[in-house]
Amino acid sequence: MANQQIKPQSNTTTYQTIAYQGSIPPPEMMEQFKKLDSNLPERIIRMAEKSLEESGKELDILRETKLIELDNQKLDITRKQNSAEQISKYNLRMQLLIVFIVLLLIVSVFVFAINGYETIAIVLASGSFLTFITNIIKGDRK
């Protein structure tokens, strides 16, 4: 038997990639498309125009959506400001009411003490004092 060497055959395939940006191919490519189908370049241009119109509509919708979101944020801020103002007014009224009650209790204690009702004055003063201290302690926990 004779030794024979077999040479491997190689098949080479080459690919070419062409890239472009935008919605319309470059003129050279459009010429190639025209060779395939004479209506193809016009169809490609119509598709690009339609795509551009749809993109414009989408941008309009997005802009309107963002404007609505901005208006909603402004309304939320306004509501929060109004709520804070109402709470502030409420807190001021409550503070004034508390001051009035404290003054009324002090006057009542002195009136009872001067008129000979020392026991009532002591009970009223100590009860009021304990009530205020309890509320202060509870208020600190919240």
52 class by beta-carbon count within 10 Å (0-12 exposed, 13-18 middle, 19+ buried) = exposed
Residue-wise pLDDT for 73-96, tens only, equals 998 888 888 888 887 777 777 878
Quote the CA–CA distance of 56 and 118 in Å, as a whole number.
Answer: 87
- Could you tell me the pLDDT band of residue 10, with boundaries at 50, 70 and 90? low
Each residue's pLDDT tens digit, 20-42: 787 788 888 888 888 888 998 89
Written as six digits, the tokens of 93 are: 């009224």
